[in-house]
């Protein structure tokens, strides 16, 4: 590719090609249970390009598996925001399906953080606020993709208070 003066130019997104290989490897590592190496690769990807939602979704899953709800929520929330602003990287998944998945994941992270804690006893108003946020997220995920069975399940089980 050349610019108007004939000088070679580069596609501003060419840096994503090796990151795609890293993302695939990280997903394989996570599936195989090697969470430390997967986490490291995902962090490396975000150091190069922090505007990618997909590595954040993977990091949210890893953090949720450790029951690190703060980290899981931070990563899931960032991924949702990126996807809502058109920041989808992978082309193989329809945008609304990926957004639905991410929104549902954020709802699950919030719900599960409440499930094992004592917030309901310490601060009922805050508990209700977070519960209602999770319920709204499940409903939004189902609205984005009516075929999202996880969102359908959670929407029927977690209702606003």
Residue 11 lies in a domain: no
Q: How far apart are CA 2 and CA 24, in angstroms?
A: 31
Name the domain count of the chain: 1
**Which residue segment(s) compose the domain that 149 sits in?**
16-157
Residue 152 lies in a domain: yes
pLDDT tens-digit series, residues 89-129: 888 899 999 999 999 999 999 999 999 888 888 899 999 99
Residue 2 lies in a domain: no
| CA 102 to mean position of chain CA atoms | 5
DSSP conformation class of 145: -
Residue 7 lies in a domain: no
Residue 64 lies in a domain: yes
DSSP string for 64-129: HHTT-HHHHHHHHHHHHHHHHTT----SSS-HHHHHHHHHHHHHHHHHHHHHTSSHHHH-HHHHHH
Residue 20 lies in a domain: yes
pLDDT tens-digit series, residues 141-154: 999 999 999 999 99
Neighbour tally for 93: CB within 10 Å: 13
Q: What is the CATH number of the domain that holds 90?
A: 1.25.40.10
Contact 95, 79 (CB under 8 A): no
- Give the global pTM: 0.86
pLDDT tens-digit series, residues 38-67: 999 999 999 998 989 999 999 999 999 999
Residue 5 lies in a domain: no
Residue 123 lies in a domain: yes
């Amino acid at each position: 590719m050349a610019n108007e003066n004939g000088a070679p130019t580069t596609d501003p997104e060419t840096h994503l090609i090796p990151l795609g290989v890293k993302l695939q490897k990280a997903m394989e590592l996570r599936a195989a249970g090697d969470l430390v190496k997967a986490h490291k690769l995902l962090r490396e990807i975000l150091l190069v390009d922090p505007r990618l939602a997909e590595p954040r979704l993977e990091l949210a899953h890893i953090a949720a598996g450790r029951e690190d709800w703060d980290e899981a929520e931070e990563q899931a929330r960032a991924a949702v925001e990126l996807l809502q602003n058109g920041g989808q990287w992978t082309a193989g998944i329809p945008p609304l399906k990926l957004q639905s998945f991410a929104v549902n994941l954020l709802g699950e992270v919030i719900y599960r953080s409440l499930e094992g804690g004592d917030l309901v006893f310490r601060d009922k108003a805050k508990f209700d606020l977070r519960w209602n946020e999770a319920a709204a997220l499940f409903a939004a995920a189902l609205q984005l993709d009516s075929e999202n069975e996880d969102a359908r399940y959670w929407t029927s089980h977690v209702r606003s208070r």
